[in-house]
Chain A
Amino acid sequence: MNRILTGALALLLLASPLAAPAQDNPAPAAATITLGDIEISGAFTRATLPNAPVGAGYLTITNKGTADDRLMSANSPVAGMTQIHEMKMEGDVMKMTELPDGLAIPAGGTVSLAPGGLHIMFMKLNQAFAEGTTIPVTLTFEKAGSVDIDLAVGPINADEPSHDMAGH
């Protein structure tokens, strides 16, 4: 009897959401974009402060395939120049460098572009990023090709894609 109860309990636990890995800040499901083996989710940017002619785009890229791929470039009509950047703290100094050869997305791997680290850097903006709008970006991968995505514009200090901005 005890054994049956334990078994039932174990089954219940397995089936319960508690057993699933915790996901605190899921990107809106509608915002996940698939391009061949590449899956892009949680794409967002922040409202720009007045006179700031720059912005940073953040997103998560997963390579579901068996071959490595590479994010070669990003382009947007809102920016005169767009680069892929890496940031690193050296002591208490934040150093930013362009990744001219793009960003490797290893087979089976996930790469996150997030505040304080990797980002798509928009320069020479021809418009401010207003909270609640979206910014169109074309991402070009070495193997998977190109895809147009929209970055949801969150508040100036957004550090994750907003929950109520369900893409489109």
Chain B
Amino acid sequence: MRTFRIVLWTLVVVAAIGATVLFFTRPQVVNGPGGGQFALVDQRGNPADNSVFLGKPSLLFFGYTHCPDVCPTTMGEMQGWFAALGDEAKTLQGVFVTVDPARDTPEILGDYVSFVSDRIVGLTGSEAEIDKVVRDWGALAEKVPQDDGGYLMNHTASVFLVNSKGEFAGTIAYGENTSTALDKIRRLVANS
């Protein structure tokens, strides 16, 4: 009986040590998306950095003008969200960061986003800066070469919710239903 008790206690101690080791060696929680510094240009050719997010809630989207389906779909939805929320979200802005800066100049991007809404800022810049923003937000963009020498881009299709401090506050998935999306945006605006 005594031996049994010793074995049991030994097991308890081993488990406690194991738990402690696991606690201290667990993978560190990575900082949430966003927060990195960037230097881009907006559709008017003006320099734009992280301060673009400050003071108002934003809907951040990574896309490109040569995008056949996801980007127009999302732009159409964003247009609908702005219209549905109206005065409820007066300060809400869209931020469209191109993942194809080689083709999306400020002028090209400007025509594109302003057709959708005057509340969307289009951002482009050097490939290195774009890569940085994409990485900072935990997004993905990769070139898919075409036979004719052209290319398409595979890219993150979600919309990132960004609060007025420039912090990540969630996502709206591609194809998310309108009422869920609107609820998320309302919460973002309320917490901004």
Instruction: List residues of A (103-153) whose CB comes within 8 Å of B's CBs.
Output: 115-116, 119, 121-124
CB contacts between A and B, total, < 8 Å: 91
Cβ-defined partner of B174 (8 Å) among A89, A122, A159:
A89
A46 to B174, CA, bound (A): 18
Query: Which chain B residues border A96 with CB–CB below 8 Å?
Result: 68-69, 144, 152, 154
What's the Cα separation between A55 and B174 when bound, in Å?
Answer: 18
* Contact residues of A between 42 and 92, Cβ < 8 Å to B: 46, 48-56, 81, 85, 87, 89, 92
Q: Out of A52, A87, A94, A95, name the residue touching B72 (CB < 8 Å).
A: A52
A57 to chain B, nearest CB (A): 10
From the candidates B68, B75, B111, name the one contacting A56 in the complex (CB within 8 A). Answer: B68
Chain B: minimal CB distance from A123 (Å): 7
Residues on B with beta carbons closer than 8 Å to the beta carbon of A122: 68
The size of the chain A interface, using a CB distance under 8 A, is 32
Residues on A with C-beta less than 8 A from B174 are: 89, 92, 94, 116
A55 nearest in chain B by CB position: B68
Q: How far is the CA of A116 from the CA of B72 in the complex (A)?
A: 11
Instruction: Evaluate contact between A156 and B69: CB separation under 8 angstroms.
Output: no
Query: Are A94 and B157 within 8 A (Cβ)?
Result: yes
List chain B positions with a Cβ less than 8 A from chain A: 65-73, 75-77, 79-80, 108-109, 111-112, 115-116, 140, 144, 146, 148, 150, 152, 154-158, 171, 173-175
Residues of chain A touching chain B, judged by Cβ–Cβ distance below 8 Å, are 46, 48-56, 81, 85, 87, 89, 92-98, 115-116, 119, 121-124, 155-157, 159
